[in-house]
């Protein structure tokens, strides 16, 4: 029903824009990763594998990448542990308060990410709210110094930020489960636990996979929480990229790291899409 001219008119402008401002920049990132910096600090546009060799040669890059993945994995795990039961509760037990609770999960998403990370800093600091509270009630004599400037602080803050991201797709998948399936399971004599384990959980796997992907991928690339709360032991891979693009001035090496991250993320997205399809019942 739509003419060729109409279809061109709606397709061409976004296509061109996305080409110029997304595809070309991502391609440029790839190109930069094969360029180098001259001693006079200008970009040399000739092709070399040196940046990738450097990545494999210097331990700190891979170590930091693995540390970032380990932090992201913990954030993913905790977000799912917090998000899944909450989604399950809302979906099956919250009754009339469901909508209210749902909005309560959404609201923190609208509060600035930076501000929430900052708030954790004021809570966890050595004269922060938590430490002074603990001393106030005489649980501790001295401030606990592992609370801030540690991987712990980064995992805590990122879990706080990404729990709603894990919750949302899980909740959506639970809401999509036809009630008849649950009823049928009960009518056929399954115990509540069996109903959960054999019916509800498998049907919610696509949501779990989506939530896990969100929380893992987004925390993997984070650089503000580690800068603000991580201290030296909480440095993540993006912090290295930031410093390579700043003071260290080695854009090509930074581009190589970023490109590796991008490949990793796209591979994870691809895998999660496959997993979701496999477990989807629609």
Taking CB under 8 A as the criterion, which residues in 141-180 touch other proteins? 160, 163-165, 168-169, 171-173, 175, 179
Contact 265, 271 (CB under 8 A): no
Residue with smaller CB distance to other proteins, 147 or 151: 147
Smallest gap from Cβ 60 to other proteins, in A, equals: 18
Q: By CB under 8 A, name the one of 146, 192, 249, 274 that touches other proteins.
A: 192
Q: By CB under 8 A, name the one of 64, 150, 195, 204 that touches other proteins.
A: 195
Smallest gap from Cβ 239 to other proteins, in A, equals: 10
Total binding residues toward other proteins, as defined by CB under 8 A = 113
Contact call for residue 226 and other proteins (CB under 8 A): no
Nearest to 91 by CA among 184, 157, 167: 167
- DSSP assignments along 143-156, one per residue: --TTSSSSHHHHHH
Contact call for residue 34 and other proteins (CB under 8 A): no
Smallest gap from Cβ 58 to other proteins, in A, equals: 20
Contact call for residue 11 and other proteins (CB under 8 A): yes
Q: By CB under 8 A, name the one of 44, 58, 60, 129 that touches other proteins.
A: 129
- Calpha distance 147→80 (Å, rounded): 22
Smallest gap from Cβ 131 to other proteins, in A, equals: 8
Q: List, in sequence order, every beta strand (DSSP E) within 38-186.
A: 43-44
Contact 202, 279 (CB under 8 A): yes
- Residue 177: helix, strand or coil by DSSP? coil
Phi first, then psi: give them for residue 44, nearest 5 degrees: -95, 120
Smallest gap from Cβ 145 to other proteins, in A, equals: 14
Residues numbered 104-123 forming contacts with other proteins, rule: CB under 8 A? 104-108, 110-116, 118-123
Residues numbered 230-269 forming contacts with other proteins, rule: CB under 8 A? 238, 241-242, 245, 251, 254-255, 258, 261-262, 265, 269
Q: Which residues pair with 43 in a beta bridge?
A: 37
- Calpha distance 114→162 (Å, rounded): 13
Nearest to 205 by CA among 185, 183, 179, 177: 177
């Amino acid at each position: 029903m739509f003419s060729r001219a109409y279809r061109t008119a709606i397709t061409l402008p976004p296509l061109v824009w996305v080409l110029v401002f997304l595809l070309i920049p991502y391609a440029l990132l790839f190109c930069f990763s094969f360029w180098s910096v001259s001693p006079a600090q200008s970009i040399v546009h000739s092709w070399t594998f040196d940046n990738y060799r450097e990545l494999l040669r210097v331990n700190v890059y891979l170590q930091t990448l693995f540390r970032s993945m380990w932090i992201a994995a913990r954030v993913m795990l905790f977000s799912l542990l917090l998000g899944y039961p909450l989604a399950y509760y809302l979906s099956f037990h919250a009754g009339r308060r469901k909508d209210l609770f749902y909005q309560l999960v959404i609201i923190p998403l609208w509060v600035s990410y930076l501000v929430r990370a900052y708030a954790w800093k004021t809570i966890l600091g050595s004269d922060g709210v938590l430490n002074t509270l603990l001393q106030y009630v005489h649980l501790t004599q001295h401030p606990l110094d592992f609370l801030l400037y540690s991987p712990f602080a980064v995992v805590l803050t990122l879990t706080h930020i990404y729990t709603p991201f894990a919750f949302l797709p899980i909740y959506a998948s639970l809401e999509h489960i036809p009630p008849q399936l649950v009823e049928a399971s009960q009518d056929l004599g399954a115990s509540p636990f069996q109903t959960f384990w054999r019916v509800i959980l498998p049907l919610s796997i696509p949501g779990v996979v989506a939530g896990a992907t969100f929380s893992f991928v987004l925390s993997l690339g984070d650089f503000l929480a580690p800068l603000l709360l991580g201290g030296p032991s909480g440095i993540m891979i993006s912090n290295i990229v930031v410093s390579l693009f700043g003071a260290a001035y080695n854009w090509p090496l930074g581009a190589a790291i970023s490109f590796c991250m991008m490949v990793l993320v796209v591979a994870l997205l691809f895998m999660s899409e496959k997993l979701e399809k496999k477990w989807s019942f629609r």
